[in-house]
Structure 1
Amino acid sequence: MADTVDTTRQAAGFRELLANGPVRLLVICSLINSVGFFAMMPFLALYLADLTTLPPAAIGAFTGSVALVGAIGALVGGTMTDRAGADILLRAGFALYTLLSAALALVTLPAVVLPLIVCLGGALMLVGPSLKKLMSLAAGEGGDLVFRMRFMTLSTGAALGPLLGAAAYNMSHRALFGASAVLFALCLTLVHARRQSLKALDVQTQRTHRQRWIWVQALHDRRFRLVLASSVLITLVFSQFESTFTLYLKDESGSSAPTLFAALFAAHAVLAFLYQWPAATLARRMALPAQAAWGCAGFAVAFLCWGTSHGGLALLLTGVVAWTVGEAILMPMADLITHRITPDAQKGTFFGALELRYLGFSTGPVLGGALLDTSQWTYFGVMAAVSFAAWPLLRARALRPEAG
């Protein structure tokens, strides 16, 4: 049937997929990497405020440079993944993470610390495309589920990493960066030990080696442009939860806002992990446009709940539940579609180009802040409408499985 989902790609369950050795290794590394990354990142601004006399805007620019360099640099990182080999680039990325974290644990001179922080984006641009390419190749027809597992590792890392980072930072900055360095070194050790099995997964062609600007081909693919554009809109909306929404809580709850947000974020992290099972079931039973509609509706309902909550816990929690439905459906969707529509030999390039979606994280807080300055109703009303901006792109016939 034209509007049904290609269920063969969902044939393997989570348990069966984890029985695959390379998949299990890559999922474990994704989890450890996420914990190490989120143990360090939330505390960079605090560390720079303690270490330097930089104004908040400059501190924000340096901490934000990690995501910016990682997103734009992934165009190069993805191309390098396809040309040199995903296993090599993955080890190089983990090695760079380890060296940079260890250096940050040892050095306190601002003139050295600031470039080291920017260089973290270089490690991000290597690890992201290579890890996703290997996961896609290792899972094969189970690729949809492996990217749901990757999203679960990100959710777990976002929940556990800051707890580890807070405990380490209370000891010293050396402990903060040292803990991340140990975790990144563990990832490097694991992938180096299994380098032959990972290398066997990779697919390279002579054409890939000859073509210098193969990422341009990704941007010329109409289906991929639809995925990328929808992803930028989704990340623009998604960025609100950890940026402008916290400002709203501060206005409503005052000094109790940090504690309230921590509780809401913890509930969100747990739900984001658990929701991947029903999200996988939904994907088997619903066509892509219907899934996208449910996801967009989840974000919109969350904004409406928060906008009418006046800081009340019941509506705030209801909004978090609806928000996590939208997140669980929409955030992994770009990886799932990219896995399906891209040739194996160029998956690194396409996954690298897909990292441009994180530009939405840069523009989202700016848009949200400007709307909130106008009024709370303007902010929540406009963002509820913007939540559906990606839906017309995701319902395009070109993205449906039967069109592939």
Structure 2
Amino acid sequence: MKKTKSFHILVWVILGGTVFTRIASFMAIPFLALYLHNTQDVHPVLIGITVGVAPLVATIGGFIGGYLTDRFGRKKVILTTIFVWSFVFIGFGLAKSIYLFIFLNALNGLCRSFFEPSTQALMIDFTEPNQRKRMFTLRYTAINIAGVIGPLLGAYIATVSTQSIPFFITGFMYCVYGVFLFIILNRYTMRQVISKSPVHIFQMLKIVTSNRALVFFILGAIFINIGYSQLDSTIPQFLEINFENGVYLYSVIIALNAAIVILLQFPISLWSEKISAVNAMTIGILFFVAGYILFIFGTNLPMLIVAIAVVTLGEIFTFPSMNILIDQIAPDDQKGTYLGAAQFRNVGSFVGPIIGGWLLTFGSGAYLFGTMALIVLLSVFFYRAGDRFAGSSKEVQRCEAL
């Protein structure tokens, strides 16, 4: 068996930093709505606006951040963003006005949309093409490890101190990581491919949107995110409405979701390396659809456990493959721009809770989960169409080369 070459040290630094910073983020952000409700006495509508502004801003910010990381270099964007992000979290702990919270969470979304494409692009720069699927899998596993540890730490810290302390701790942890990155990144020469004839951001937007494969991949991801966003928005409300112990059931579901990802992500990814990324996406989408159909019949805990397990399998197959498909169609000097443009999928995370909340008013889980199953299923069309356009583009490039 051919031995797999180890990842570059910078890839491990970013993966380790992903666990570190996501633990910090998960200590604070999931509790933002409760913090505003309990300590600031904010109206629920304003809380919704405050929470929703982050993915909304990230939708546009991702493309801008991706463009900047291609134009000016990964290191500059990463280091600038991480220190600004640190002050954003400290600002959460100090803020008193709801409008300041809205502004700060908009900055939070902007920082994430800058930081994510630039760190992903940096890992791509230092990873061989045949190892990138495994690299993205490890990154997604790292996020889920943080997703288990962070909220538990945040809940514990909030119970033994003031509820603002997790925000200050998060800001401090981001600053520490920023200093560490400054030291490490200055020790290595960046391998980024810089375009010899850089173009204006609006020209780049035209170039990216003219890539039909990318457009279809983004549309497919939006539909998936509409469905997946229900896990954090309408599913807890559905459980609270329909079960006496809804909060307990939701905590069980969330813990099980993260545990399954941690346990099965890597073995499933090893198997999925044998098939194409678009086929892995298709399998994942079908698991999503089956899981939401099972939620329709989720009248007790065992059925809910089966449903979330199936949805989680869909998550394991789809999310790492999203980035692989973008990487495969992105030119070497536009990796950050393409990964940033892919952040337009956050449109689904923004409109998903709104659609789900409206469907929930009909009073039956069948409307909610049946519609979500259909919406997610439609994403198969977009990914398959995108893959066909990607194949056609590669064939044209081969002919031009001849």
TM over 0.5: yes
Distance 1:132 1:184, change over 3 A: same
2:227 to 234, 237, 240: 237
Cα deviation for residue 267 of structure 1 reads 0.9
Cα deviation for residue 301 of structure 1 reads 1.7
Cα deviation for residue 103 of structure 1 reads 3.1
2:302 to 303, 314, 317: 314
* Larger mean Cα displacement after TM superposition, 33-42 or 282-291: 282-291
Kept after mapping to 2: 8 A contact 1:17/1:23? no
What code does the residue aligned with 1:161 have?
G
2:42 to 35, 46, 54: 54
Distance 1:313 1:389, change over 3 A: same
C-alpha distance in structure 1 between counterparts of 2:389 and 2:255, whole Å = 34
Report what 1:169 is aligned to.
Answer: 158
User: Are 2:86 and 1:86 equivalent residues in the alignment?
Assistant: no
What code does the residue aligned with 1:147 have?
F
Identify unmatched segments of 5+ residues in structure 1.
1-10
Report what 1:8 is aligned to.
Answer: none
Report what 1:22 is aligned to.
Answer: 10
| TM-score scaled by length of structure 2 | 0.90
User: Are 2:383 and 1:388 equivalent residues in the alignment?
Assistant: no
Report what 1:127 is aligned to.
Answer: 115
Report what 2:253 is aligned to.
Answer: 264
Kept after mapping to 1: 8 A contact 2:292/2:372? yes
What code does the residue aligned with 1:144 have?
K
1:116-195 pair list within 5 angstroms: 116-141=104-129, 142-170=131-159, 171-195=161-185
1:247-396 pair list within 5 angstroms: 247-254=237-244, 256-310=245-299, 312-374=300-362, 375-396=364-385
C-alpha distance in structure 1 between counterparts of 2:335 and 2:49, whole Å = 31
| TM-score scaled by length of structure 1 | 0.89
Distance 1:51 1:117, change over 3 A: farther
C-alpha distance in structure 2 between counterparts of 1:372 and 1:109, whole Å = 31
Identify unmatched segments of 5+ residues in structure 2.
395-402
C-alpha distance in structure 2 between counterparts of 1:12 and 1:61, whole Å = 50
C-alpha distance in structure 1 between counterparts of 2:273 and 2:154, whole Å = 38
C-alpha distance in structure 2 between counterparts of 1:351 and 1:48, whole Å = 33
Identity %: 22
2:53 to 46, 62, 65: 65
* Larger mean Cα displacement after TM superposition, 271-280 or 339-348: 271-280
What number of residue pairs does the alignment pair up? Answer: 389
C-alpha distance in structure 2 between counterparts of 1:378 and 1:112, whole Å = 37
Report what 1:4 is aligned to.
Answer: none
Distance 1:105 1:245, change over 3 A: closer
What code does the residue aligned with 1:207 have?
S
